[in-house]
C-alpha cells in the first residue's frame, strides 16, 4: 500500500513512520494541506491520509477518484471538512472516532482555569518583573454551575473533572448518556443558568453557530465560554459583540471558525489578515490555543495506531468499523 499523507508536521512522522514500516507500507509525506490544487499529487497512491483543516470538497473527491484512491483515512475524529455525499460510491472514508478523551477534556479544564485566574497574563507580567496582581482576579469554581453541551466521551470526562472542582454540572445532549452524574436540561435552561459553558459536541447542521447572538443574550453576565470542539459552533461576530458588551466575561478557544489558514502554522513574522482573529487576540480575557487539545503522547499514538489499522483493514477486505457514510 502506498499512502499520500497530507498536511504533515514533524510529530506526524515520529508516530506514523515506524507503524508504516511494520505494515510494509510506503508513505509520502506532503507538507501541503489537501485541497483542489494539491489533490493531483495523490496520483500513483492507494490511500490518502488527511487531517482536520484539509478541504475535501466534491472537486477534491473527483480528483482522488480519478487517481484511483480507494480510501480516505482521516487521522482525526471530525469529518465536517469532507463532502461525504460526494464520496459515496467513489471513495470510502474512515476516521479515528476516539483517541484520548482525557486529552481534550483536560485541555478544556486548563483553558477554564487559565481564563478564570488569568495565569497567562500573570506569566507575561512576572517575566517583565511586574508583580502587580491588579486585574487578575478570578472566581471560585466551587459550587458554580458549568454547562456542558455534548456528553459524548470527551464531555463525560470533562464532567468528571468539573465534579472534582465541586461544580454543579448541567448538561444538554439530544442523546443523554445513561448513568452520568449530571443534571440534563434544555439548551435554553443550561445557557441561562451556567457560569461556565463548555462545548463538546460535533459540528453538524444542527449545531452550527449554536452559540450566537440569541443564545449569548440569554447567558449570565460574565459567563466564561470554552470551546475545544469545532470553531463553527460559535458565531465569531456574536462572540466579539458578547465580549465587547461584557456579557461574556472570558473565552478559552482551542478552535476558531476560520482557522484553516492559520492554526498549526508559524506566522510569527506575518500580519494576520483575518480581522476577527486579530480582534479576538487583542482581548485580555480571551485565550486562544492552536487546536492543540488533542496533542498528547497518548493521543498521538492512538491516532496513528487506529489510522493504520483502518488502512490495513481496508487492504485486507475486512469490515471498516470506523467508516463514515452519508445519511
- DSSP state, residue 176: P
Instruction: Quote the distance between the C-alpha of residue 278 and its chain's center.
Output: 20
**Do 91 and 218 have their domain in common?**
no
Burial class (CB in 10 A: 0-12, 13-18, 19+), 275: exposed
pLDDT value at 326 more than 90: no
For residue 98, name the pLDDT band (cuts at 50, 70, 90): confident
The side-by-side arrangement of strands in the sheet containing 323-324 is 26-29, 2-5, 47-50, 71-74, 92-94, 323-324
Residue owning grid cell 517575566: 127
Q: Determine the pLDDT at residue 268.
A: 95
**Do 233 and 94 have their domain in common?**
no
> Residue 218: which of 256, 244, 241, 247 has the closest Cα?
247
**Do 218 and 229 have their domain in common?**
yes
Question: So which residues are the catalytic ones?
Answer: 230, 259, 291
**Do 214 and 318 have their domain in common?**
no
- The boundaries of the domain holding residue 7 are 2-99+296-324
Residue owning grid cell 508513505: 27
pLDDT value at 60 more than 80: yes
Q: What does pTM read for this prediction?
A: 0.91
**Do 87 and 110 have their domain in common?**
no
pLDDT value at 287 more than 90: yes
**Do 265 and 166 have their domain in common?**
yes
Amino acid at each position: 500500500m502506498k499512502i499520500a499523507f497530507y498536511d504533515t508536521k514533524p510529530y506526524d512522522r515520529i508516530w506514523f513512520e515506524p507503524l508504516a514500516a511494520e505494515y510494509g507500507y510506503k508513505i509520502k509525506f506532503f507538507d501541503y494541506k489537501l485541497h483542489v490544487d494539491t489533490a493531483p499529487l495523490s496520483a500513483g497512491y492507494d490511500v490518502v491520509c488527511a487531517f482536520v483543516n484539509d478541504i475535501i470538497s466534491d472537486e477534491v473527491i473527483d480528483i482522488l477518484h480519478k487517481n484511483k484512491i480507494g480510501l480516505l483515512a482521516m487521522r482525526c475524529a471530525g469529518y465536517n471538512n469532507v463532502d461525504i455525499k460526494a464520496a459515496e460510491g467513489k471513495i470510502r472514508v474512515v476516521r479515528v472516532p476516539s483517541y484520548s478523551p482525557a486529552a481534550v477534556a483536560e485541555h478544556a479544564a486548563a483553558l477554564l482555569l487559565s481564563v478564570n485566574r488569568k495565569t497567562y497574563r500573570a506569566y507575561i507580567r512576572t517575566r517583565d518583573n511586574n508583580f502587580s496582581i491588579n486585574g487578575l482576579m478570578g472566581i471560585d469554581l466551587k459550587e458554580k454551575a458549568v454547562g456542558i453541551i455534548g456528553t459524548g466521551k470527551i464531555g463525560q470526562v470533562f464532567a468528571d473533572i468539573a465534579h472534582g472542582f465541586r461544580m454543579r454540572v448541567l448538561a444538554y445532549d439530544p442523546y443523554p448518556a445513561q448513568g452520568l452524574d449530571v443534571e440534563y436540561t434544555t439548551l435554553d435552561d443550561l445557557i441561562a443558568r451556567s457560569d461556565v459553558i463548555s462545548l463538546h459536541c460535533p459540528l453538524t447542521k444542527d449545531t452550527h453557530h449554536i452559540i450566537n447572538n440569541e443564545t449569548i443574550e440569554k447567558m449570565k453576565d460574565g459567563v466564561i465560554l470554552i470551546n475545544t470542539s469545532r470553531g463553527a459552533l460559535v458565531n465569531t461576530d456574536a462572540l466579539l459583540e458578547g465580549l465587547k458588551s461584557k456579557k461574556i466575561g472570558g473565552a478559552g478557544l482551542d478552535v476558531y471558525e476560520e482557522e484553516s489558514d492559520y492554526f498549526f502554522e508559524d506566522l510569527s513574522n506575518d500580519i494576520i489578515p483575518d480581522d476577527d482573529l486579530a480582534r479576538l487576540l487583542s482581548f485580555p480575557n480571551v485565550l486562544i490555543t492552536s487546536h492543540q487539545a488533542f496533542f498528547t503522547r497518548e493521543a498521538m499514538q492512538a491516532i496513528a495506531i487506529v489510522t493504520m489499522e483502518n488502512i490495513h483493514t481496508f487492504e485486507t477486505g475486512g469490515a471498516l468499523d470506523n467508516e463514515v457514510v452519508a445519511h
